[in-house]
Amino acid sequence: MVKVDDYAPIVGEGEVEGIKQLAELIKGEKVVHINATPYGGGVAEILSRIIPLAKSLDIDANWQTLKGDTEFFTVTKKMHNALQGNQEVALSEAEWRHYFDTVRFNSSILNLEGDVLVIHDPQPLPLIEYRRGGKWAWRCHIDTSSPNLRIWGPLMELVQRYNIAIFSLEKYIPRNLETQVLIDHPTIDPLATKNAGISVSEIEKTLNRYGVDPERPIIGQVGRFDPWKDPLGAIAVHRMVKARVRAAQLVLIGSFAKDDPEAAEWYEKAMAFAAKEKDVFVLTNLDGVGDLEVNAFQRAFSVALQMSKREGFGLTVTEALWKGVPVVGTRAGGISLQVIDGATGYLIDNYEEAAEKTALLLKKPWLARELGQSGRRHVKLNFLITKGIMNYLRMHIELVGKRN
């Protein structure tokens, strides 16, 4: 099992010692995290790493997920889209009822006993109605800067019953929210299979397995198949880059998760859009692309794209930068915190700019290396799991106080 000491060679003994001192103050405390799915997407990835690390610090941390049918996850995906700004979404009385009924059922099978319960995103939000003690935190991982008020209104009433609401960026805090708030940037684990160092031979073996030429430049975007990530935009950018750098390849990697019923539709759209394109590879976890394969592909990228229209934070940007790959991305969400324009990559406002900056980096590999190295330093200082666990410890202490 991973231990906090394992990170000392990366972040330094001082940071590790600070984490230990904070953890000592709440040693033995019980923390419960609840989200929608055990795999697929940034939330599951964060929890899969933060829970074992918390346990190694003698904190009684555990992670539970909801049980729900297709109808439930269709409703909560609509909620997700509405909270991220889709003003056309509306839910029927039957959909609202099914949402609350499903969460009520889960309240009977989940363990809601703990000193601190952290509820992630809208899917399990109504669990607050079945509170049995402890302090409750709602962790919002999506962009709620301009929510659809028809959906957000009823949900905000639930959020305001929590002791604290946690957002990835200050601008995501909706107006008139009357509860304590905290800003906490998501982080990645440098020791995870997706981010740990791997050999050049492993990288080449992975590329060859999927027919990608390791001798030619590779552009890549990693993220769910949904309209907010704009996979079709990434393909359009590649098309324009090919006019400047004929050898360029595009690898588009997505995943399917049980809480995302739109994924199949957008995967099919991406496949159809790329059907007549040369050198475009659309891959998913159903093709055997797991964490190790994503790691290998990201390390092979000459440039990483992130064409998101909305973005909770953008951990795939963090992952690419950690691997020394420059990122060309939109200004959505947390991307602009990570992509320092001209220093760790380039921020762009349209496909044409994205193609121009991507082609520039392909033509000037020395510049790509320089920006990538700067990006790795930026992630080391700001977005590694040691920062994440320290922030969780501080939140816990603030909510329940120090252990006697």
Strand partners, 328: 305, 346
Nearest-CA neighbor of 220 among 207, 201, 205?
A: 207
- For the domain made up of 4-187+384-400, give the CATH fold: Rossmann fold (3.40.50)
φ and ψ at 241, to 5 degrees? Answer: -65, -40
Q: What is the pTM of this model?
A: 0.90
CATH 3.40.50.2000 location in the chain: 4-187+384-400, 200-382
- Provide the residue-wise pLDDT of the chain in tens; the chain has 404 residues: 789 999 999 999 999 999 999 999 999 999 999 999 887 777 888 999 999 999 999 999 999 999 999 999 999 999 999 999 999 999 999 999 999 999 999 999 999 999 999 999 999 999 999 998 999 999 999 999 999 999 999 999 999 999 999 999 999 999 889 999 999 999 999 999 999 999 999 999 999 999 999 999 999 999 888 888 999 999 999 999 999 999 999 999 998 766 667 788 888 888 898 887 889 999 998 899 999 999 999 999 999 999 999 888 999 999 999 999 999 999 998 999 999 999 999 999 999 999 999 999 999 999 999 999 999 999 999 999 999 999 999 999 999 875 54
Sheet holding 280-284, edge to edge: 280-284, 249-254, 218-222, 303-306, 327-329, 345-347
Length of the chain: 404
What is the C-alpha to C-alpha distance for residues 209 and 228, in angstroms, rounded to an integer? 29
Are 309 and 325 within 8 A, CB to CB? no
Q: Which residues contact 127 (CB under 8 A, 6 or more apart)?
A: 34, 103, 106, 107, 110, 112, 117, 119
171, two tokens: 């601008």
- 3-state class of 211 per DSSP? coil
Nearest-CA neighbor of 2 among 46, 69, 34, 49?
A: 49
Are 46 and 118 within 8 A, CB to CB? no
Chain-centroid distance, C-alpha 230: 15
How open is the CA angle 168-173-178, to the nearest 5 degrees? 130
Name the burial class of residue 182, with classes exposed (0-12), middle (13-18) and buried (19+) by CB atoms within 10 angstroms of its CB. Answer: middle
φ and ψ at 87, to 5 degrees? Answer: -80, -5
Dihedral (CA of 53, 44, 108, 140) sign? positive
Task: Report how far apart, in Å, the C-alpha atoms of 7 and of each of 58, 92, 253, 291, 385 are.
Answer: 17, 49, 28, 20, 9
Choose which CATH entry (3.30.230.10, 1.10.3720.10, 3.40.50.2000, 1.20.1070.10) describes domain 200-382. 3.40.50.2000
